Structure 1
Amino acid sequence: MSDFKSSYLISVFIVAVIFVLYGCSSVKIEDLEIKELITTVLARKISISDTVKVSMKADAEWVQNPLLKPCNLESFSRLRSIIKIEAKSLESILSEEDLKKICVESEEDFIFSKKMVPQSVKLVEQNYLDSLFAAYTLSLKNQTVASQQFENLNSNAYIRLSKPIFLQKGEFAFIYYSNHSSESSSSLLVYEKTGQKWELILSFPLLIS
């Protein structure tokens, strides 16, 4: 009986170790995939700045854009026709199931960690970033913008990203990108994995100001 009990405990221990190791490796692989994608998305920003500020909290608000209501393949295709994108057909890349996955998972709470971003990216609390932008917007509305406020906003220009969504066994990736400064812009981006690199194949501009 004691031999059986010992064997049972050893088996349980081995299973537990395998579970822990597998779980840890899965997290590391996911973090690495996200880091590779974000490095590609921010490549231009990183090349011209020592530090790129990115909101720690993923942006889930883009799903509420009226141009994408309801959030499905038809809406994305309609958006594509409105802004006259000259690129690959969306329908030839993503399925209705892919769009459903994008719309559902993009609304989930997601926090970026340091393991998910390149070294030159600084993750910043969203509340602080919002306060800077709100102060600038109010001053602009009241026509009392001081040069210091303008410089402060631009020196603290930051990026917001949605939760990265990987599709079709990691062959494609979707991410929402928005740049916040005195001149703001935002886009929906679709990347394709070619070899070990991510290549931008579709970009849907949503805002330029």
Structure 2
Amino acid sequence: MERYFVISHRAFLMFIVFSLVGCSSIKNEDQEIKALLSTVLARKISMSETVKVSMKADVEWLQNPLLKPCNLESFSRLRSIIKIEGKSLKSILNEEDLKKICEESEEDFIFSNKMVPQSVKLVEQNYLDSLVSVYYRSLKDQTVSSQQFENLNTNAYIRFSKPIFLQKGKYAFIFYSNHSSESSSSLLLYERVNQEWELILSYPLLIS
């Protein structure tokens, strides 16, 4: 009985330790994402008191016909073409990085308030989609009003893919899209330099 109690006590302690390690890991990931998004959104934040960001991570960018990130052969060709200050992206990202970007970007991912700067407001994607839908439907019917145009721009928002940290946190990959009357989107690659994130690649995919 005494031996059973000792074993149970050890098991309980191990459970507590693993739980704390798990919580610490989650907390660290939240902090990493917050630091990255603070850098990505720095300019937007400086221009506005509130920046709207979709709570749900974007997975639709994976269907972009110009990119096909889940087709490693296609993504590898793109990686060979893009140059960063005369250096090929191929020399930075390896096949394992591409596979990780593809697989993790397909996961359902929800941003929490712990992951974003204080001036960022997380909003439901359904609400944002409804604004855009009304605007583009009116454009198609040629009935767009100045009020609808103003409403869309007032409610302009940002969508991100799930942030992917590569090579033990040395690089961070994220897809960024700005949704307003003039939408744009880019693939962004950051490098950690002296504990700060520095942009080394911004590859535009869409400007309309």
For the aligned pair, the TM-score class normalised by the smaller chain equals over 0.9
1:3-152, aligned counterparts within 5 Å? 3-69=2-68, 71-72=70-71, 74-76=73-75, 78-79=77-78, 87=85, 88-152=87-151
Q: Give 1:9 shift.
A: 2.1
Q: Give 1:71 shift.
A: 3.3
Query: Which residue does the alignment assign to 2:204?
Result: 205
Q: Please give the root-mean-square deviation of Cα atoms over the aligned residues, in Å.
A: 1.7
Paired with 2:27 and 2:79, the residues of 1 have a C-alpha distance of 35
The answer for unaligned runs of 5 or more in structure 2 is none
Q: Give 1:177 shift.
A: 0.1
Paired with 2:51 and 2:161, the residues of 1 have a C-alpha distance of 16
Residue 175 of structure 1 pairs with residue 174 of structure 2: yes
**TM-score, normalization: structure 2?**
0.94
Count of matched residue pairs: 207
Letter in structure 2 aligned against 1:66: P
Q: Secondary structure at the match of 1:67?
A: coil
Once the two structures are overlaid, the 10-residue window that deviates more, 46-55 or 65-74, is 65-74
Contact 2:80 2:89 in 1 (8 A): no
Letter in structure 1 aligned against 2:199: L
The answer for unaligned runs of 5 or more in structure 1 is none
Tell me: CA distance 1:78–1:8, structure 2 relative to 1, closer, same or farther (3 Å): closer
1:132-159, Cα deviation, whole Å (9 max, x unpaired): 0000001111111111111110010000
Q: Give 1:51 shift.
A: 0.5
Q: Give 1:4 shift.
A: 1.2
Paired with 1:34 and 1:86, the residues of 2 have a C-alpha distance of 24
**TM-score, normalization: structure 1?**
0.93
Letter in structure 1 aligned against 2:155: N
Q: Give 1:131 shift.
A: 0.3
Q: Percent identity?
A: 74
